[in-house]
Structure formats: C-alpha cells, structure tokens
Copies of this chain bind each other. A is one copy, B any other.
Amino acid sequence: MEMDTKERILATARELFHGRSYADVGIKEICSMANVQKGSFYHFFPSKQDLAMAVIDNMADDWANGFVAEAFDEDLPPMERLDYMVDAVYYWQKAAKNLEGRMPGCLFGNLALEVSTRDEVIRARLNAIFEKASSRFHEALEQAIERGDIPFLDTKATATAMLAYLEGVILLAKTRNDPDVVRNLGPAIKSIRIEQKH
C-alpha cells in the first residue's frame, strides 16, 4: 500500500525544500510530484507556512531518532560522539550530492537564513531545534569533563559554539559544493573551547 497522502506531501516537500529552498518550491510542484491535488493539499495543511513547520518537525524527529541518537549514544566516549556526528553529516551530504549533483546542506540552517527575517513563527521553531541540538553537545561535554577527558570549560557556551561551527562548516561546504570540506574541517570541532568566565 502506498503512503498516506499527508505523509507523501510531507516527504516530497521535505525533499524539495531541502534540495532547493522554501521560496523556490511552490505548492503546485509539491502536489504534482507527490501525486496529490491542490484541494487535498489544503485539506491537510492550512498554509505553506504550516507545511514548513511540519517539514521542520518531521526532519527534526528523523534526526533525533536517526544519527543524532546514534552519534550521541551514551555508550560512546563523549568526545568520540562529536566525530561520529561529523562523519554522519559527511556521509549524508556526500550521498545527497551523488544523487542530486548538489550538496543540499542543512535544512535547518538553510531555512534559518532564508526565512527567519520574515517569519517569526518558523524562526522560533528553528531556534528551538538548534537549542535542542546544542543540548546534546552540552551533555557530551559535561560527561567528558566528568571523566577527565578534557579540561574544565564553559560547557554551555562551548556546546553552542560547536553547533555553530558545524553549521558554518556545512555552509562553506555547500557553497563549495564539496562534502569533503566537512570531512577536512569537521574534526576540528573538538578544538573549540570557551573558558568559564567568573
């Protein structure tokens, strides 16, 4: 049995938004690629903005239960989780590029820069997702310090800085259209540190 209409819309929209951009992908295109009619679309999603929110949540869920869960596995040594995460990003981007010819980058980062100046709702949601992602880094850092793997530092700030770095690396890689940038620069995420201020 084929996917539920709503899920088909969601999956298609996610793919298109990720591969191109929010503004560049129209509802009509999503519908025709998902084999759904306009009316059906608007039966499930009150607006394009609403669809965007659903796509974001959908992707965030997949992430949280996908490699993020794997990478930040409690059984892994904390600092190794960072490498795992970088690797996951690299392989994913590389696979996507091999398929589409273009490196799509990070859906959240893409959307953040594209729409956060004109859509408060979406901006806030993306911010929350970044917040959550940052907290995974935070946990890992806390544990690393506890185990004595790394010297004491401001774990909260450093965690956010690491997330920023990862997003920045993806941005540069996308601009170069070269996933290798992720592999070459990514591991340096472990070198970032922000001292505790008092």
Chain A contact residues, CB within 8 Å of chain B: 19-21, 23-24, 102, 104-105, 109-110, 112-118, 123, 126-127, 130, 157-158, 160-161, 163-169, 171-172, 174-177, 181, 184-185, 187-188, 191-194
17 other A-B residue contacts (CB within 8 Å) besides A116-B174, A167-B167, A191-B192: A20-B117, A112-B174, A113-B114, A113-B171, A116-B177, A127-B176, A130-B175, A157-B185, A157-B188, A158-B188, A161-B165, A164-B168, A165-B192, A167-B168, A168-B168, A185-B194, A191-B193
Q: How far is it, in angstroms, between the C-alpha of A21 and the C-alpha of B110 when the chains are bound? A: 12
Given contacts A130-B172, A172-B167, A175-B126, contact A113 B117 (CB under 8 A): no
Partner of A188, one of B127, B177, B194: B194
Tell me which residues across on chain B come within 8 A of A112, comparing CB atoms.
171, 174-175
Question: Roughly how many angstroms separate A181 CA and B169 CA in the complex, as a whole number?
Answer: 18
Contacts of A194 on B, CB cut-off 8 Å? 185, 187-188, 191
**Which residues from chain B contact A21 at a C-beta distance below 8 Å?**
23, 114-115, 117-118
With A21-B115, A117-B21, A117-B104 already in contact, the answer to whether A160 and B172 are too (CB < 8 A) is: yes
Bound Cα distance A181, B181 (Å): 25
Determine the distance from Cα of A24 to Cα of B119 in the docked complex, in whole angstroms.
Answer: 12
